[in-house]
Chains A and B, each alone.
Chain A
Amino acid sequence: MNHQDLIKGQATDVSPRLALGALNNRWAMAKAADFANDVEVLNFALTLEFLEAEFYRQGNKAVQLSGIEGKFLKQIQSDEESHVKTLIDTIKKLGGTPAEAPKVEFGDAFENRKNFLTTSRTFENVGVNAYLGAAGFIKDKGILQAAAGIFGVEARHAAIVGLLLGLPAKGGVFVGDVETAKSKDEVLAAVAPFLAGGAGAGGTEKVIIPAGAPDTGAGGEAKDTTGLVQATTGGVLVAGAAVALIARHRMAPRGEEDDD
């Protein structure tokens, strides 16, 4: 795998475990294990919501969107902040300890409107996949309702951002007649590039989100169902976190994981 391969997304033989190993040690949940209880599911969700909330907080400051677009993105930010609060409150009510806000690195995601919206769509679709994949582990029906309720709103976000990007209805705004579930490790691998300090050697290397994402006007990325492709091509990525992006394109055989 060389630099050009990373940029073009050609490298495919990477296990999600490598990506997980690159994550900061604080992510105890980043082992490919079941969710043992509702608190673990909620903390997984909370980590993602922290990431999203901070992404929009920074993005809405850095990228000036006007009119209805600006309004939508501010509403999305407000929703994510509300999700963070709801999850923290719920975790505490359950007697659990809420996860800390992760250190984040969004690189060139705020370089321009297109990068911002493209990365936004990535987050939202990953969030949808994450909640759907985790829902089955939730025991408490009230918590399940809340998690499902948040999941639906993330899907709204994803669709609207797809609309703002002018993506095709099929595969862009809508991603099929059913949503896709992803496992915890797949989700964590997908967001690894946005978590600071994820490199193999030393914890201070920055993950740079690619600049100059490919033209994503109508007709682009029609086959993609999660939006991740748009965030992953055309940039320099630190090795450990880079593999995480590539891993999304290929499901590594489960035998490589060490959770059994």
Chain B
Amino acid sequence: MRPFNKNRVFGGEPVLGIAHETDRRAFLRMAGLVGVGAGLVAGGLMTGASSAAAVQAADKGDIDILNFALTLEFLEADFYATGLKKGLINGRELELITEIADNESSHVTSVRALVKQLGGTPVNKPTIKFPADTFKDKLSFLKAASTFEEVGVTAYHGQVGLIKSGDVLGAAASIAGVESRHAAVLAALIGGNAFPAPIEKRRSKNEVATIVKPFLS
């Protein structure tokens, strides 16, 4: 096998979004490509030879961005966990929402791990409070879910241009794509617009903070 040309992939830094075990095995087949040594982090958003360099070069701004994302993921994960406990949905909708909830929970885990891997300190789970009628019935729950996902999508896309590290960009984008899927599906479930625009809209951190502030007491 030829020596790894690190300029080939993702500007010299591998993009590594290891989702399932099948993807992990596929990644390992490529291990020679990315020069993976002892640095594999199980279930991590960023692994491999680049991780040591990334820790050294970790930008504080990137860590802040990831912590901003982490807060939102905590919020979403808690929202779905709470909603699922209420038993408001079943059948196909339950299957879909369960997977969404699972994704958000994974996002919390992954982003926390990535912040740590970069030498940062992950923010703690915030105290979260949802308005009383958020979970009063299925439609309220799904509408709130749809809103959270759309806000999450705009939050990630608002940060894309501000991320310094190629690795962090890849990690954030790999999550953002999934949030877009969530948003589309939830919109479909409530009879909303699954494709609100040909290009995802962006919101600034401040705009998003204002929107989610009521939920973070």
Contacts and interface: CB of A to CB of B under 8 A. Distances in A.
B109 to A, nearest CB: 9
Main secondary structure of the interface of B (DSSP, over half): helix
B1 A179 contact: no
A159 to B, nearest CB: 4
B102 interface: yes
B104 to A, nearest CB: 8
Contacts of A176: 19-20, 23, 103, 178
A34 B8 CA distance: 5
Given A148-B176, A173-B185, A175-B19, A153 B200 contact: yes
Interface in A78-100: 78-79, 82-83, 86
A152 interface: yes
Interface stretch (A134-142, A202-210, A228-236): A134-142
A181 B169 contact: no
A204 to B, nearest CB: 34
Interface residues of B, number: 64
A209 to B, nearest CB: 25
Interface string B146-172: 000000010001001100001001110
Main secondary structure of the interface of A (DSSP, over half): helix
Contacts of B4: 254
Contacts of B175: 177-179
A254 B1 contact: yes
Nearest to B107: A177
Interface residues of A, number: 58
Contacts of A151: 173, 176-177
Contacts of A24: none
Interface stretch (B63-71, B124-132, B133-141, B190-198): B190-198
Given A79-B195, A133-B15, A155-B180, A225 B23 contact: yes
A170 B178 CA distance: 12
Interface stretch (B26-34, B52-60, B81-89, B203-211): B26-34
Contacts of B110: 177-178
Contacts of A141: 161
Contacts of B195: 72, 75-76, 79, 153, 156-157, 160
Interface string A94-138: 000000000000000000000000000000000010001101110
Nearest to A253: B1
A86 B2 CA distance: 38
Nearest to A141: B161
A183 interface: yes
Given A174-B99, A251-B30, A128 B177 contact: yes
Contacts of B174: 132, 178-181
A168 B199 CA distance: 26
A163 B153 CA distance: 19
A149 interface: yes
Nearest to A260: B5
A4 interface: no
B8 A136 contact: no
A151 B15 CA distance: 15
A223 interface: yes
Nearest to A175: B19
B85 to A, nearest CB: 19
A152 B160 CA distance: 12
B6 to A, nearest CB: 11
A259 to B, nearest CB: 7
18 contacts: A79-B195, A79-B198, A132-B15, A132-B173, A136-B9, A152-B179, A153-B199, A155-B180, A159-B184, A159-B185, A170-B102, A173-B185, A176-B103, A176-B178, A177-B19, A178-B177, A253-B1, A257-B2
**Pairs of residues from A and B, 5 with the lowest C-beta to C-beta distance, nearest first:** A176-B19, A136-B10, A149-B199, A156-B184, A177-B106
Given A72-B195, A137-B11, 19 more contacts: A34-B8, A135-B173, A145-B161, A146-B199, A155-B178, A155-B181, A156-B181, A156-B184, A159-B185, A160-B185, A160-B195, A174-B100, A174-B185, A175-B19, A175-B178, A177-B102, A178-B106, A178-B171, A181-B174
